[in-house]
C-alpha cells in the first residue's frame, strides 16, 4: 500500500478503484474491471523482491526528459512566437516518454541483487551530472545516447574515468561501432548487445577486473570485427546467448514473481518526474502519461541504412500476449507506446489479438511499423503481412483499429521505397493506397523519410523515374523537379518528419559508402569524434542533403501545404488541432537540429 501511495498516479488509481467499488451507481462490470486493475497492480507490486540491500550503488546516465522547449541547464530569451510554442509542445510530448531501454537496464541490474540503489541522471543536465560525479557511485552506466549526444557522452565518459568510477556504455551506438576500443581508450567499458539476462555476469566480471574492456554476449553478431583489432584479449564473452529469448525473459516467473515488471514500472516513474519551465519543476499531467512497452525484437525488412537488423536481427522474437496483458493491467496509463522497430512484422493475428486486448482494457496505443501492412492482401500474398484481405472481416478489423490506434509512425526512407531497393520490396505506387486507408479511418500518421539516400545503396534492379536524390551535379531544372517530387508526395501525409540521410557506423550502408570512399569524413580508431562528423556537414560526398532538406521543409510547412495535408485525413477537430501544432513545431524541433 505504501508503494502505491508513494507514487501520485498510482495513488489516483487506488482512489478511483475504491470509489468504483463503494459507489452504488457503479455497474457490476465496472466494479469487476476496477477490481481486476487494482488486483493486477497489487500482484505486480506484491511479488516485487524485498527492498534492495546489495553492496553497490550505481547511476544510470540517459535521456530522462526534455525541459519545456529547452535543453536541461539552458535558458532561452527567445520570444514565445507561435512556432516557438508549437516547438515547445512537440518537445514536451517527447519529454513524457523516457528511454525504455534504461528502465529495462534498471530492472535487470536491480534483479541481480548486487545493488542497494540506482539513480537516473539526464546526461544533458550539467548540474545533475556534476552532482552525480561528486557522489562517486560504484558503477556508472551510460545508455540511450544518439549520435547527436556524442559530445555530452564522450565528455561524460572521460570525467567519470578521471574519478575512478567503473563506467559501462551500452545500447545501439557502442554495440554497432566498428571500433569500440575508442571507448576503452577513454577509460570506459562497452557492453554490446541486449542486456536481458546478462547484467549479473557483467557486474561479476567488472568486480573481478574493473579495467575497461569490451563485453559481448556469446554469439553476438559483429564480434568478429573485434577480433580483427589489435587488442582482442581485452574482450569478454558473457555466458548468455547472443539473442534474448523473449518468451523466457518476459515469462510470468521473471516478470511477476521475479519482480522485473515492478522494477521496470518503478524506473519509468523515476525518470518521468516532470518537466521544468523557468526554473520550476512540474509533474506530467495524468492525461499525458504514456506507458512504453516493447513486445518484440527484430525486423525482416533488411534496410541497409537501419541499425535494427545488425543490432536485433531479422528474425522476429515476440512476447506472449499474456505477458503483455499483465503489464497493461499493471499500468494506469491510458495510452501505450509500442517501442518495437516494426510492430506489424509480428503478423496480423498477433496484431489483431493485441488490438482486442487493448479494447478490453480501455487503452489506446501508438507504434512504429510498415505502411504497406495496410494494403489489401493479394491472392498470393501471406495473410500475416496484410491487415486487410477483402473479406467481410475487414470492417471489424477497421473498427477495431479506429477504437484503439491513436497514432502510427511509418518509415518511408525515400519519398518512396524505390522499386527494387529492397529484395522483394514494395512498389512505391502503392504508398498512396495504403496511406489513404489510414486517412479515411482518421488515424494520425507520422511519416519519417530521409533526404539524400544515395543510389549506391539501391539494388542493381532499382527503378526510379524522377530525380529524388539532391546531387550537387543536378542542373537547376532537375533540382527544381527533385524538390517538387518531394513536395507533391508529402501532400498525402498529414504528419511528416524529414531527416537528412545519416549513415550509422556499423550498418551495411556505412560500410558500403566507406568502401567506395563516399563519406565526407574519415573514420579513425583513436578518437570517437572522428567517426561522427560535425552536424552541419553533409555526410555523403556530392549530395547536398541539408540544402535540399531546408528547401523541402520550407515548402511543406507553408500554411497552404499544411492545410492541404490536413485535408487528406478524416480527422476530428481535436486531431486537426493536434496535427496543426505538430506541423508548426516539428520542422523547428526536429529539422533545425539536423540542418
DSSP per position, 113-130: T-EEEEEEEETT-HHHHH
Q: Which residue has the higher pLDDT, 368 or 23?
A: 368
* pTM of the full structure: 0.85
- pLDDT score at 594: 45
Q: Give yes or no for a contact between 246 and 236, defined as CB atoms under 8 angstroms apart.
A: no
DSSP 255: I
Lowest mean per-residue pLDDT among 40-44, 187-191, 492-496: 40-44
Band the pLDDT of 460: cuts 50, 70, 90.
low
> Which H or E run includes 551?
helix 545-556
Phi, psi of 498 (to 5 degrees): -105, 140
**Predicted local distance difference test score (pLDDT) of residue 283:** 62
Cα separation, 68 vs 15, whole angstroms? 30
Residue 372, C-alpha cell as written in the block: 504497406
Q: Give yes or no for residue 276 having a pLDDT over 60.
A: no
Q: How far apart are CA 38 and CA 330, in angstroms?
A: 8
pLDDT: which is higher, 482 or 88: 482
User: If you average pLDDT over every residue of the chain, what do you get?
Assistant: 80
Q: Which three cell numbers stand for residue 221?
A: 553478431
Q: Mean pLDDT throughout 265-291?
A: 70
In whole angstroms, what is the distance from residue 98 CA to residue 108 CA?
17
Q: How confident is the model at residue 418 (pLDDT cuts 50, 70, 90)?
A: low
Q: Which pLDDT value is given to residue 313?
A: 87
Residue 52: HSE in the Cβ half-sphere, 13 Å Cα cutoff: 20
187 or 9, higher pLDDT? 187
> 366 by DSSP, 3-state: which?
strand
* Collapsed DSSP state (helix, strand, coil) of residue 235: strand
pLDDT at residue 22 is higher than 70: no
Per-residue pLDDT, averaged over 247-254, amounts to: 91
> How far is Cα 375 from Cα 380, in angstroms, rounded to an integer?
13
3-class SS of residue 360: helix
**Nearest by Cα to 269 from 120, 91, 93, 46:** 120
Per-residue model confidence (pLDDT) at position 317: 93
Query: Phi, psi at residue 471, to the nearest 5°?
Result: -65, 140
Around 481, how many Cα atoms within 13 Å sit in the side-chain half-sphere? Answer: 10
| Radius of gyration from C-alpha coordinates of the chain | 24
pLDDT (0 to 100) of residue 86: 54
Query: Would you say residue 355 has pLDDT above 90?
Result: yes
- Return the biggest CA–CA distance within the chain: 76
User: If DSSP codes are grouped into helix, strand and coil, which group holds residue 526?
Assistant: coil
Question: Among 186-190, 222-226, 467-471, 498-502, whose mean pLDDT is lowest?
Answer: 222-226
Burial class (CB in 10 A: 0-12, 13-18, 19+), 55: exposed
Helix extents (H) in 195-320: 199-208, 223-227, 246-249, 252, 260-271, 308-312
Looking at residue 338, its pLDDT comes to 94
Give me the residues paired with residue 500 across strands: 451
Query: Is the pLDDT assigned to residue 506 strictly greater than 60?
Result: yes
pLDDT band with cut points at 50, 70 and 90 for residue 400: very high
Cα(115)–Cα(446) distance, rounded to whole angstroms? 40
Determine the average pLDDT of the residues in 561-565. Answer: 88
Confidence of residue 595 (pLDDT cuts 50, 70, 90): very low
Cβ distance 161 to 506 under 8 Å? no
157-173: pLDDT as tens digits:
999 999 999 999 998 88
CA 505 to chain centre: 18
| Confidence at residue 359, expressed as pLDDT on a 0 to 100 scale | 94
Question: For residue range 109-165, what is the model confidence (pLDDT) as tens digits?
Answer: 999 999 999 999 988 888 889 999 999 999 999 997 666 677 778 889 999 999 999
Q: Which DSSP string do the residues of 482-518 spell out, in sequence order? A: HHHHHHHHHTT-SEEEEEE--PPTTSHHHHHHHHTT-
Range of 181-190, 279-288, 469-478 with top mean pLDDT: 469-478
Report the Cα 18 to chain-centroid distance in Å.
Answer: 36
Exposure of 311 in the CB half-sphere (CA atoms within 13 A): 25
Backbone angles phi, psi at 180, to 5 degrees: -65, -15
The whole-angstrom separation of Cα 70 and Cα 420 is 42
The β-bridge partners of 120 are: 60
Choose the most confident range, by mean pLDDT, from 20-29, 163-172, 525-534: 163-172
Residue 193 pLDDT greater than 50, yes or no: yes
Alpha carbon distance 595, 593 (integer Å)? 6
Please tell me the distance from the alpha carbon of residue 519 to that of residue 154, in angstroms, as a whole number: 22
Residues 106 and 117: their CA atoms lie apart, in Å, by: 10
Q: For strands 275-277 and 280-282, give the pairing.
A: antiparallel
Q: Residue 202 in contact with residue 173, Cβ under 8 Å?
A: no
Amino acid at each position: 500500500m505504501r508503494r502505491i501511495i508513494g507514487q501520485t498516479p498510482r495513488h489516483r488509481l487506488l482512489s478511483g478503484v475504491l470509489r468504483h467499488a463503494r459507489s452504488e451507481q457503479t455497474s457490476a462490470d465496472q466494479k469487476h474491471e476496477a477490481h481486476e486493475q487494482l488486483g493486477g497492480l497489487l500482484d505486480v507490486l506484491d511479488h516485487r523482491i524485498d527492498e534492495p540491500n546489495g553492496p553497490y550503488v550505481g547511476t544510470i546516465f540517459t535521456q530522462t526528459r526534455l525541459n519545456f522547449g529547452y535543453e536541461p541547464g539552458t535558458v532561452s530569451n527567445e520570444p514565445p512566437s507561435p512556432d516557438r510554442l508549437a516547438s515547445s509542445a512537440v518537445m514536451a510530448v517527447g519529454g513524457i516518454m523516457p528511454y525504455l531501454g534504461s528502465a529495462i537496464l534498471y530492472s535487470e541490474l536491480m534483479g541481480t541483487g548486487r545493488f542497494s540503489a540506482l539513480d537516473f541522471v539526464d546526461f544533458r543536465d550539467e548540474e545533475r551530472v556534476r552532482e552525480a560525479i561528486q557522489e562517486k557511485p560504484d558503477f556508472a552506466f551510460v545508455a540511450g545516447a544518439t549520435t547527436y549526444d556524442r559530445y555530452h557522452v564522450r565528455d561524460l565518459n572521460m570525467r567519470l574515468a578521471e574519478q575512478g568510477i567503473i563506467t559501462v556504455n551500452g545500447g545501439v551506438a557502442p554495440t554497432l561501432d566498428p571500433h569500440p576500443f575508442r571507448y576503452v581508450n577513454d577509460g570506459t567499458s562497452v557492453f554490446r548487445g541486449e542486456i536481458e539476462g546478462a547484467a549479473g555476469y557483467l557486474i561479476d566480471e567488472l568486480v573481478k577486473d574493473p579495467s575497461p574492456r569490451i563485453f559481448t554476449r556469446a554469439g553476438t553478431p559483429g564480434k568478429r570485427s573485434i577480433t580483427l583489432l589489435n587488442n582482442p584479449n581485452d574482450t569478454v564473452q558473457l555466458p548468455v546467448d547472443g539473442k534474448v529469448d523473449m518468451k523466457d525473459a518476459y515469462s510470468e516467473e521473471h516478470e511477476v514473481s521475479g519482480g522485473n515488471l515492478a522494477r521496470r514500472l518503478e524506473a519509468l516513474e523515476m525518470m518521468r518526474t516532470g518537466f521544468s519551465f523557468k526554473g520550476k519543476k512540474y509533474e506530467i499531467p495524468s492525461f499525458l502519461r504514456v506507458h512504453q512497452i516493447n513486445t518484440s525484437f527484430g525486423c525482416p525488412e533488411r534496410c541497409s541504412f537501419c541499425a535494427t537488423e545488425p543490432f536485433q536481427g531479422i528474425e522476429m522474437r515476440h512476447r506472449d500476449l499474456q505477458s503483455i496483458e499483465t503489464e497493461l493491467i499493471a499500468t494506469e496509463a491510458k495510452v501505450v507506446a509500442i517501442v518495437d522497430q516494426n510492430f506489424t512484422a509480428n503478423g496480423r493475428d498477433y496484431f489483431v489479438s493485441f488490438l482486442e486486448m487493448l479494447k478490453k482494457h480501455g487503452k489506446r496505443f501508438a507504434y512504429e511499423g510498415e505502411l504497406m501492412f495496410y494494403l489489401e492482401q493479394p491472392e498470393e500474398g501471406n495473410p500475416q503481412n496484410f491487415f486487410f484481405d477483402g473479406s467481410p472481416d475487414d470492417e471489424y478489423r477497421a473498427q477495431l483499429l479506429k477504437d484503439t490506434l491513436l497514432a502510427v509512425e511509418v518509415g518511408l526512407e525515400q519519398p518512396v521505397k524505390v522499386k527494387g531497393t529492397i529484395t522483394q520490396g514494395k512498389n512505391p505506387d502503392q504508398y498512396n493506397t495504403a496511406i489513404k486507408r489510414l486517412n479515411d479511418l482518421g488515424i494520425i500518421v507520422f511519416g519519417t523519410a530521409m533526404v539524400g539516400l544515395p543510389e549506391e545503396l539501391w539494388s542493381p534492379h532499382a527503378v526510379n523515374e524522377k530525380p529524388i536524390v539532391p546531387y550537387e551535379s543536378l542542373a537547376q531544372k532537375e533540382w527544381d523537379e527533385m524538390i517538387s517530387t518531394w513536395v507533391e508526395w508529402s501532400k498525402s501525409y498529414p504528419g511528416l518528419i524529414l531527416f537528412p540521410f545519416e549513415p550509422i557506423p556499423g550498418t551495411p550502408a556505412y560500410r558500403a559508402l566507406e568502401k567506395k570512399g563516399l563519406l565526407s569524413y574519415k573514420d579513425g580508431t583513436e578518437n570517437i569524434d572522428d567517426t561522427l562528423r560535425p552536424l552541419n556537414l553533409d555526410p555523403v560526398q556530392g549530395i547536398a542533403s541539408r540544402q535540399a532538406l531546408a528547401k523541402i521543409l520550407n515548402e511543406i510547412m507553408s500554411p497552404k501545404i499544411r492545410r492541404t495535408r490536413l485535408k487528406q485525413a478524416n480527422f476530428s477537430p481535436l486531431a486537426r488541432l493536434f496535427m496543426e501544432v505538430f506541423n508548426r513545431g516539428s520542422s523547428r524541433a526536429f529539422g533545425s537540429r539536423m540542418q
